[in-house]
Amino acid sequence: MITVSNLVKKFGDFIAVDNISFDVKKGEIFAFLGPNGAGKSTTIKMLTTLLHPTSGSVDINGHDPVRHQHEVRQSFGIVFQDPSLDDELTAYENMYFHAVLYKAAGAGVKQRIHELLDFVELWDKRDVLVKNFSGGMKRRLEIARSFLHHPKIIFLDEPTIGLDPQTRNSMWSYIRELNQREQTTVFFTTHYMEEAERVAQRIAVIDHGKIIARGTAEELKRQTNTANLEDAFLQLTGRAMREEEASGADRLRGAFMRRRGGTR
Amino acid sequence: MSTIYIMWLRQVKRYLRSRSRIIGALGQPILYLLALGYGLGQVFARAGQGNYMEFLVPGVIGMSVLFTSMFNGVEMIWDRQFGFLKETMVAPVSRFNIMLGRVLGGATVATFQGLIVFILSFGVGFRMPMSHPAGYVLSGVFFMFLMALFFTALGTGIASLLTDFQGFQLIMSFVVMPTYFLSGAIFPLDHLPSLMSYITRIDPLTYGVDGLRGSLILSNHFSLGLDFLIMAALCLLMLSVGSYLFSQIEV
Ligand SMILES: Nc1ncnc2c1ncn2[C@@H]1O[C@H](COP(=O)(O)OP(=O)(O)OP(=O)(O)O)[C@@H](O)[C@H]1O
Ligand SMILES: [Mg+2]
């Protein structure tokens, strides 16, 4: 469903993604783990047509994100790491606009929106402007929206940041249910290791732009001789904290998010 | 088609929901009408140029359209910072349609803002010098829309090149303000020093405001036909350039 070979992304001299290769099978739940600044979001942006790779090739549902953007965009749904809702619209409008953009606004769309909003427990708030939502509510809405058009692949870039344990749990059970029922392939990143350990069927660990380990949670634990995935992760990536160089825009956004009570 | 419509609808809804912005954006034109209209009216009449309020109203409508449309276009930087742009960038629809819907929405809003100023101007003594004004008003609204389209597309094009707010003030100082003051919106175009006369002729707003004057007070420097041709050509050009820049955005 996803095949990546020798993918590279450079920003000037800086190599954010350094010659990575992996594949994700249809219907699989795949976790992409790594410390801050490892290159996870950059990889997702290349897979989802938002950034052009410096070199290497990508195949998403049989299409190349560089040459066949349209087909690729039809294949996936995405929850970005940063918010991507329109604050001046209501929850329902955000869903409906998405349906129109994805040509999914035919008969049955109201039913679908109702079902999804119900699931993330926002149906009662459907006519509230998103700017009045809490961070967690926004996140739930984004998750519901990403499933709206029945995508074959779903990319979730830290979908659970800022969510309480209740919501995180029900979110993953919903994602697993959809994964079972609609055979949706799930590609996600997270910094919660126990979440990855519980949900992911396979894991790749990326650090400094390179994939340094891959396998099931069991395999990674065995390989590092540790008891849980968090320890395995620390063992693999070291204990030093990462100095992430944020671009001007990122810093600005970061400051903004912190002021709002922060979801990072 | 549905993409264009939904992006248009979004801009319009956002506008209608921000009452404070609508009202805030009316303060400036009213101030200009009062201060310049009443302040310079005497001088203008003594110089044998006629009724200054009549002359000024189309100019101030033009200003209002200019400010609102540029702001609407440049507002895309906000979408880029706070996210919604990404949602549209990964949608399986043509970016040209997204950009077009967005620009049409912004232009609709700016035209509407111009209409409000037009209506308010009757409160400060503006009168149209013709007996059956309906057709002229329509032609005026059409020119407002052409200006709005051009400047929203320009704002969107510029915003496609910027990734943060730092450029915003620069655009205000070096694009919006000069466009307004060098357009003949507040002074007549005849008998200008030659450099000034040259500059006003390369300012797009000049032709929009001139078309507006031709429609609303039946007195303009060029002809309605020329104003229309130039504005229409500029709109096409700016939509092409703007949509090219928009299609190149990487998030
Ligand atoms: N547009 C850009 N220009 C320059 N450098 C960039 C750009 N985008 C990302 N980077 C850099 O590339 C590296 C990888 O960033 P990326 O966002 O992919 O990390 P990540 O793994 O998603 O981290 P996090 O867990 O913090 O989200 C970082 O060092 C980042 O500063
Ligand atoms: Mg990231």
Which helix (H) or strand (E) segment is B128 a member of?
none
Q: Does B20 touch chain A (CB under 8 A)?
A: no
Supply B202's token pair: 């390369």
Strands A153-157 and A76-79: parallel
Pairing outcome for strands A55-60 and A2-11: antiparallel
Q: Are A17 and A42 in contact (CB under 8 A)?
A: yes
Helix, strand, coil shares of chain B as percentages rounded to 5? 80, 0, 20
What is the B233 CA–ligand 2 centroid distance (Å)? 44
CA distance A232 to B50: 85
| Domain membership of residue B173 as a residue range | 2-247
Count CB atoms within 10 A of the CB of residue A187.
25
State which ligand 1 atom lies nearest to the alpha carbon of A14: 5
- Quote the DSSP letter at residue A241: P
What's the gap in Å between A34 CA and the centre of ligand 1?
12
> Tell me, what's the pLDDT at A246?
53
Tell me if A38 CB under 6 Å of ligand 1. yes
Kindly state whether B251 is in contact with chain A, defined as any CB-CB distance less than 8 angstroms: yes
The superfamily CATH assigns to domain A2-262 is: P-loop containing nucleotide triphosphate hydrolases (3.40.50.300)
ipTM for the complex shown: 0.86
Among A20, A40, A44, name the best residue to mutate to test ligand 1's pocket (greatest count of ligand atoms within 8 A of Cβ). Answer: A40
Closest C-alpha among B57, B71, B65, B80 to residue B18: B71
Ligand 1: nearest atom to the Cα of A38: 21
> Is A48 in CB contact (< 8 Å) with chain B?
yes
A100's CB contacts (< 8 A; 6+ apart) are B2, B3, B5, B6
- Global pTM value: 0.87
Q: Are the C-beta atoms of residues B101 and B76 closer than 8 Å to each other?
A: no
Q: What distance lies between CA B235 and its chain's CA centroid?
A: 12
**Which of the four pLDDT bands, split at 50, 70 and 90, describes residue A105?**
confident
CA distance A26 to A179: 10
From first to last of its 251 residues, chain B has per-residue pLDDT tens of 789 999 999 999 999 998 888 888 888 899 999 998 888 888 888 888 888 888 999 999 999 999 999 999 888 988 888 889 999 999 999 999 999 999 999 999 999 999 999 999 999 888 888 777 888 999 999 999 999 999 999 999 999 998 877 888 888 888 999 999 999 898 888 888 889 999 999 999 999 999 999 999 988 889 999 999 999 999 999 999 999 999 888 87
List the domain boundaries for chain A: 2-262
Q: What is the pLDDT of residues A106-118, one digit of tens each?
A: 888 999 999 999 9
Q: Chain A: nearest CA to B126, how far in angstroms?
A: 36
Residue B84 with chain A: CB contacts under 8 Å = 84-86
Q: What is the total count of domains within chain B?
A: 1
Q: How many helices (H) and strands (E) does chain A have?
A: 10, 9
Enter the tokens of residue A208. Answer: 């400094």
Confidence of residue A262 (pLDDT cuts 50, 70, 90): very low
- Chain A contact for B182 (CB, 8 A cutoff): no
What sign does the dihedral A154-A157-A163-A169 (CA atoms) show? positive
Residue A89 carries which side chain, given as an amino acid letter? L
Which numbered ligand comes closest to the C-alpha of A18? Answer: 1
Nearest to A116 by CA among A87, A151, A75: A151
**Ligand sitting nearest the alpha carbon of A11:** 1
Classified as helix, coil or strand, B90 is coil
Distance CA A28, CA B117 (A): 59
Predicted confidence (pLDDT) at residue A264 exceeds the cutoff of 60: no
The long-range contacts involving B30-37, CB below 8 angstroms and separated by at least 24 positions, are B30/B117, B30/B120, B30/B124, B32/B56, B32/B60, B32/B63, B32/B186, B33/B57, B33/B60, B33/B120, B33/B121, B33/B124, B34/B124, B36/B186, B37/B124, B37/B125
